[in-house]
Amino acid sequence: MSLKNTHEIDIVRVSSSKIDSVDFDNLTFGTTFTDHMFVCDFREGKWQKAEIKPYAPFLLDPSAKVFHYGQAIFEGMKAYKDESDDVWLFRPDQNFERFNKSAKRMAMPEVDEEIFMSGLHQLIDLEREWVKKGLGNTLYIRPFMIAIGSGVIAAPSTQYRFMIILSPAKSYYSGEVKVIIAEHYSRAANGGIGAAKAAGNYSAQFYPTKLANERGFQQIIWTDDATHTKLEEAGTMNVFFRINDTLYTAPTSERILDGVTRKSLIDLAKRDGIDVAVRPVLVEEIIEAAKDGSLKEIFGAGTAAVVNPIVGFSYQDTYYELPKIENSFALLLKEKLTKIQYKLAEDTFGWTVKI
C-alpha cells in the first residue's frame, strides 16, 4: 500500500540530539521520547499549518475543554527496522481510519489523511536513528488529539490539537500474567464510547485493575455490562481463547475495540489453517472448558504487547491454571506476525509500508 507524503510541514530541528544519552537496552515502556514531535491545530473550522519541532511541554488555558469534558483520543502504532536499515510501518491505514472513527464519536474534527500520513512519514523519517534493529526493538508511535478551546460550558470545543510523539520501546509486559474475570465492573457499555480509543475508557479501568493487582493478578478480563456473562477484552487488549484446536474471540461492537493486531492474527490463523470462531464467548463455557481440560490457551492481543499469554484466571474466587503446552497458538501467531513486521517473512497481505 502507499503512504501519502505530500503535505507541507514546517520543520524545526533540535540543536543537538539526546539519543546518545538513552540506554536502549533498558527502556521502560512509554517513558523515553525522541527529539521531535508533530503538531497541527484545528482553529476557525479548519486545520492550520502543521509543524515538526523539538519535543517539549506546551501551555494550555486552565479552562481547556480536555481538562473538564474529556475530549481526548489516541492511537497506538509501531515502526520497525529491518536488517537493511529500512524502516516500516504496519497497517497505518487501519490506525488512521480508527482514529477518525474515534474523533467522530467524541464530536471532534476528523484529521485529513494527508496531514496524518505526512506527519507520520516525515516525523519518523527525521527520527529513524531512534528505530533500532532486532526483534523486540520498536519505535512506539502515539498520535493523539485533545480539545484546547477554553471555557467550562459543557459543549464540544471549537479548537483542537493533533499531535504525534514517538517513544523507543522493547516489550510491554514481562513475567507471567494472571487475570480475574470481571463480575461487577465493566470497561464499556452499550451506547457508550468503548469502541473509541478515548482517554476516558482507560482511566475508568484503572481502579478495578488496581483492586485486581492487590489480589495478585495483573489484569482483568472484562465482561459485558448488562449480564457479565460474555467475555470481551483482557485489560487494554483484545482477547482470544483456544478450546481444543479452535480459537474463539468476541466480535467487535460498540463495546469492543476493533484491534489492528486482533484482525491481523485472525487473518494469519485463517491463512494457516487454524479454525477461528468470531462469536460471543460465554464465561460458563470457558469455566467448563477449564474443568474438562479442553481450554488450552488464553492470550491478549494488542499493539504494545503484540501477544500476551495468560497463565491462569480467577472467577468467583476459584483459580484455574492453564496447561503448559508445546504447540502454543499464541507463540506461533506472534512469531508469524512479528516476522512480517520486521520483514523477515513475506508480507502476503500487503500490510507493511516503507518510510
Domain ranges of the chain: 9-170, 178-341
**Mean pLDDT of all residues in 258-278:** 96
- pLDDT band at residue 80, thresholds of 50, 70 and 90? very high
Residue 250, pLDDT score: 95
Q: State the amino acid at position 75 in one-letter form.
A: E
**Residue carrying C-alpha cell 491545530:** 41
> What is the structure's pLDDT at 171?
72
Third-level CATH fold of 9-170: D-amino Acid Aminotransferase; Chain A, domain 1 (3.30.470)
pLDDT, one tens digit per residue, over 254-266 is 888 899 999 999 9
Q: E-assigned strands of 105-218?
A: 138-147, 160-169, 178-181
- Of the candidates 245, 229, 226, 219, the residue with the CA atom closest to the CA atom of residue 300: 219
CA distance 49 to 43: 11
In this structure, the strands spanning 178-181 and 312-315 are: parallel
Q: Going by C-beta distance under 8 Å and a sequence separation of 6 or more, which residues neighbour residue 101?
A: 195, 196
Question: What's the CA gap between 180 and 319, in Å, rounded?
Answer: 9
Would you place residue 241 in the very low, low, confident or very high pLDDT band (cuts 50, 70, 90)? very high
Residue 1 has pLDDT above 60, yes or no: no
Place of cell 497541527: 40
Q: At residue 293, does pLDDT exceed 50?
A: yes
Q: Partners of 146 in the beta sheet? A: 72, 161
Q: Specify whether the CB–CB gap between 168 and 132 falls below 8 A.
A: yes
Closest CA to 7 of 151, 142, 124, 112: 112
Give yes or no on whether 9-170 and 178-341 have one common fold. no
76 touches 142 (CB < 8 A)? yes
- Give the model confidence (pLDDT) of 24-53 as tens digits: 999 999 999 999 999 999 999 999 999 999
Distance CA 141, CA 163 (A): 11
Q: What is the mean pLDDT of residues 154-175?
A: 90
Topology given in CATH for the domain delimited by 178-341: D-amino Acid Aminotransferase; Chain A, domain 2 (3.20.10)
DSSP 3-state of 232: strand
User: Which pLDDT belongs to residue 143?
Assistant: 98
